Structures are given as structure tokens and as C-alpha cells.
Amino acid sequence: MFGRLKQTQSIGVYPFNRNFFNSANGYNGIAAGDAIIAVICCQFEAPDALVVTSVTDSSGNRWAQVPGIALRGGNESFLDIWVAYDVATVAPSDGLQVAVTTNNPAGSSISDQFNVALLDVEGLSGRTPWVNLFTGFLTYPFTVFVDARSQSLGICAFTNGGDVVVTTQGPWNMVALAGEGPLNGENIAYTVGTGTLQPTFNTELGGEVDIALAIIAFPLKP
């Protein structure tokens, strides 16, 4: 089965319990068997203290953190990624209500900088993904890679780097996240391939950018 990113939606503000992919906002619901990837990020004065404790939804899907994620950048940036595989059908008129809970160590101080982007993907196998993580000040351009070892959907997610783009090194596609909140209009990148998935990152500003970056290769179904 060929992996495909079908739709994305980004919503901000904490406490977080919001409705995604409903037809009232121009989305298509969710097909049974899809996977839903939640990219959770915020700008927070003490990112080392912040922990996502659970992700739940109105369809009762089983969510789990991608192993090895929960990334804290040097400049108040936090990035975590959770995934639910083989999800239940969601009618477009209903949408999917998603709740994200954290330990919220500093109360409402994260409320205006908290953001969740959902990626609706078909074709993921549910096997453990391969992950590379980067954080801190990075000098652009730079190339990173994940050795996928089998046909995979590669996702690049980053926070505190809205001016960062993925340039050459394979058929990486940029998607501007639609919706609301701090990530509205920012980009993720994705590709489908096998072997070494190599995105090259650049920035319009040049020099160094402080960033929390995850490159994840999700194995596909045969």
C-alpha cells in the first residue's frame, strides 16, 4: 500500500480539547484504517519541565508517544509526537474531538503558545518508526538522514523555526499547516521512499537558528 498524507489541521491554545477534520471547516472526516499523527509543540519558558501525559479522542482510538520523542530545544521550544494507528471511521459531520493533557507545570502560561497539528495518513503499518532528533542552534544549510531500511513515509516536524524549509535531497514535499494557533502557516515536510531518507534544511535568514527537529520514518503496510 502506498503511504499518503491526506489532510492536516493545526489548532492552538491550551487547555486542549478541540474538534478536527469536520466538514463545517472544509475537512473530510477520517477513513477507517488511517493513522493519525499528532505533532504537539509550544514555546515555553521551562521546556524541560513540560510533559505530555496523554492524548485521547472521541472515537476511543489508542494513542502512543512515538518512541524517543519529547524534545526540548534551547530557546523555550518543546516538541512531542504521538500516533494512533488503524483508527475508526469519523463522519465528516462529526469530526474527531482530541484532548491533549500535560502536567502543565506553570499553569496557564503556556496557553497562547500551545499548538497541536494532526496529520491524517493512510498506509502506515504500525511497526516502530525510525527516529532522528536534533535540538539547539544549528547552522544552515545542513543535511540529516534516517536509515528507513524499508518503504516508509518520512515526516519532518520542527518548532521554533518557522523560516526553515526543506530543500533538495530527494522528493520531499512541503505542506503549510492550515488552521489556527502558533503553527498556522508553518511547514512540515514529508516523502515516501526507502533506504536513506535525506532532507536538507535551509532558512531564509541564513546562519544559525535554534530549533527542535524530529525526522521520523513510519514503515508502510505491504
Query: Which tens digits make up the pLDDT trace of 86-124?
Result: 999 999 999 999 999 888 665 546 655 778 889 999 999
Question: Looking at residue 163, what is its pLDDT?
Answer: 60
- More reliable by pLDDT, 199 or 32: 32
What is the separation, in whole angstroms, between the first and last Cα of the chain? 6
pLDDT for position 179:
64
CA atoms of 95 and 210, how far apart (whole Å): 35
Cell 472521541 sits on residue: 58
Q: Which residues contact 50 (CB under 8 A, 6 or more apart)?
A: 42, 44, 72, 78, 102, 103, 104, 105, 110
Is residue 96 within 8 A of residue 20, CB to CB? The reply is: yes
3-state SS, residue 14: coil
Q: What is the mean pLDDT of the chain?
A: 81
Tell me: the pLDDT tens digits for 29-87? Answer: 999 999 999 988 877 666 667 788 999 999 999 999 998 777 776 556 778 899 999 99
pLDDT band per the 50, 70, 90 thresholds, residue 134:
confident
| pLDDT (0 to 100) of residue 172 | 78
